[in-house]
């Protein structure tokens, strides 16, 4: 079911400062910011040879990453995103296995314009898992 690692996401309190670290200190290629109100975040992608780093900061009052940053004010690894061929088949398989799909269980459109779903961290060794259909 799982294909490639699409991205590792790092929640940050200040997106432009974090982007500058990756661009200027680490010498990486960093995309322009994308505001995604339906996800409650603004993101940039750090392009690596074999995957991407997604830097995200809260957007709006109800950002799902606000409490994460309350607990870790300097930021931290927030989620991993795996690619799947068929996100509905993956979802139904996971539900059969008793995993919890977050939100209303229906895929949303992610930062790459593809369907994404999130799985509860408590079911996956304390790690928030995102699935993205390729």
Which one of 54, 57, 130, 132 is the catalytic residue? 130
| Nearest residue relative to ligand LP2KCY5N (C-beta) | 110
CA distance 96 to 127: 20
Q: How many residues make up the chain in this entry?
A: 134
Comparing C-alpha atoms, which of 59, 47, 41, 60 is closest to residue 116? 41
Residue 130: active-site member: yes
Q: Which does 60 bind (CB under 5 to 8 A by kind): ligand LP2KCY5N, Co ion, none?
A: none
Please list the alpha-helical segments (H only) found in 24-101.
66-71, 87-96
Residues at the interface with ligand LP2KCY5N (CB under 6 A): 9, 36, 39, 41, 43, 54, 56, 64-65, 67-68, 78-79, 81, 102, 110-111, 116, 118, 121, 126-128, 130
């Amino acid at each position: 079911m799982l294909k490639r690692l699409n991205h590792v996401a790092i929640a940050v309190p200040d997106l432009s400062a974090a982007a500058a670290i990756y661009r200027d200190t680490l010498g990486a290629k960093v995309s322009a910011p994308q505001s995604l109100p339906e996800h409650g975040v603004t993101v940039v992608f750090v392009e690596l040879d074999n995957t991407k780093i997604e830097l995200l900061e809260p957007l709006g009052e109800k950002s799902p990453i606000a409490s994460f940053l309350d607990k870790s004010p300097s930021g931290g690894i927030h989620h991993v995103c795996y690619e799947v061929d068929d996100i509905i088949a993956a979802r139904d398989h996971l539900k059969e296995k008793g995993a919890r799909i977050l939100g209303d269980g229906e895929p949303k459109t992610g930062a790459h314009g593809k369907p994404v779903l999130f799985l509860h961290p408590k079911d996956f060794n304390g790690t928030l898992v995102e699935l993205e259909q390729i």
